[in-house]
Amino acid sequence: MADVRRLAVGEADEAGVGLDELAREGARRMIAAALEAEVDQYVSALVDEVDENGRRLVVRNGRAKQRKVTVGSGTLPLCAPRVDDRCVDPDSGERRRFSSQILPRYARRSPKVSDVLPVLYLRGLSTGDFAPALRDLLGEDASGLSASSIQRLTEAWRAEHDAFRSRRLDFTRYAYLFCDGVHVSVRLGEDDRLCLLVVLGVREDGAKELLAVEDGFRESTESWAELMRDLKARGLAEPKLVCGDGALGLWAALRDVFAHAAEQRCWVHKIANVLDATPKRVQPQAKRMLHEIMEAPTRADAPTRADARAALEDFRREFDAKYPKAVAKLDRDWSALTAHFDFPAEHWRHLRTTNPIESSFATVKLRTRVQKGAGSKAAALAMAFKLLDAASERWRRVNGHELVADVLAGHTFKDGIRVPDEHPDTTDQKVAA
């Protein structure tokens, strides 16, 4: 079999050509052909545009100086064709200029390459590692891989976050809110820790949407209240249910701003707190029984709040005598732990935990671990916002999304089943009469 990595050059000469070189040469030729076709189409479309002497106003004008452009297959040398366009825009009265849609003026990287740089940074690649890590892939002449280029990206993210935190929210209704505070490290400034307050909402169509990423002081009541008041001022209507951990500041602020919203404690946080009150030797059994309480609503043989209560009593009989503090932690928040029973059963698996926020913050923690903490509070906020914004594209709609409208309409649910209206519409009866 012939060696496909070697191409014949002339009659007696051969040159070793690697697969990457073939890809780059093929890409260069295809881009060059596309640029020629684009210019030919533009010039031919304006062939009838002439001046008072009958000379054409739009003609080809040689080629621009060679420049190196970084694309997915590497860094390519390109000479774009130029156009002499002397037509005048009738609306503005200014001279019109040809601008390539394939290779815009001053472009040094393809959009895909530009998009992957922030992704690599957010996923943990340090700014100083971009050039050595990508040089072999994109070529020695690849541009835009310096630390200053990445710094410009973070500045753009801050601008995006500023726009995000001022947008109106009164055009969408949100049935549920997930709230959590996550602590990240900061290298510069007086405080070496930053508490990020994150709010995620479930829209009427069942989709999850990031609503807020702000800095707070240790999840204090005032920090949460300030955030909630800001969301309300921007048009956020009172949600039907708010899910969060046991942080007292959140719930005190919620009762002050959205007094009628139901409260759902996160079961994952609660299980961790209960296990902390038991010795390690009994934790496997305790964890299994706690999961039986939490997952009781989704089991065919335990579909009601009463069944969850029965599972709690089993836990009490097993551990109350020796570890009363563990049982007391469940008793104290039992009403909030079982609030999801008053909502559609299809939504229970989503409402029991703040997992959408916790799982999305895994990448934030990875990024700050690589950097030994974000550079500043502003940088940490911008980075967390961009990571969560990127993660939101992978968030799926809640199960039974068509039932979210019923929740927003105020329909009553008992043990996950909608209760028939007490006063059904009698319009048809009146018409018949």
Task: Note the pLDDT tens digit of each residue in 139-148.
Answer: 666 666 666 6
What whole-number distance in Å separates Cα of residue 421 and Cα of residue 387? 43
What whole-number distance in Å separates Cα of residue 53 and Cα of residue 344? 77
Among 278, 300, 247, smallest CA distance to 289 is for 278
Task: Note the pLDDT tens digit of each residue in 170-207.
Answer: 999 999 999 988 777 654 444 556 788 999 999 999 99
Whether the CB-CB separation of 419 and 233 falls below 8 Å is answered with: no
Average pLDDT over residues 67-85: 86
Asked if pLDDT for residue 343 goes beyond 70, the answer is: yes
Residue with tokens 């405080």: 191
Question: At CA 346, angle to CA 237 and CA 179, rounded to 5?
Answer: 40
Domain range list for the chain: 20-110, 163-408
Task: Note the pLDDT tens digit of each residue in 255-307.
Answer: 999 999 999 999 999 999 999 999 999 999 999 999 988 876 554 544 688 88
User: HEC profile for 194-232?
Assistant: EEEEEEEEEECCCCEEEEEEEEECCCCHHHHHHHHHHHH
Residue at 170: amino acid letter: D
What whole-number distance in Å separates Cα of residue 264 and Cα of residue 250? 12
Average pLDDT over residues 320-332: 94
pLDDT band at 331 (very low <50, low <70, confident <90, very high): very high
Give 54-91 as a DSSP string.
Answer: S-BSEEEEEEPPPEEEEETTEEEEE--EEEEE--B-TT
Task: Note the pLDDT tens digit of each residue in 146-166.
Answer: 666 667 777 888 888 899 999
Quote the pLDDT of residue 20.
75
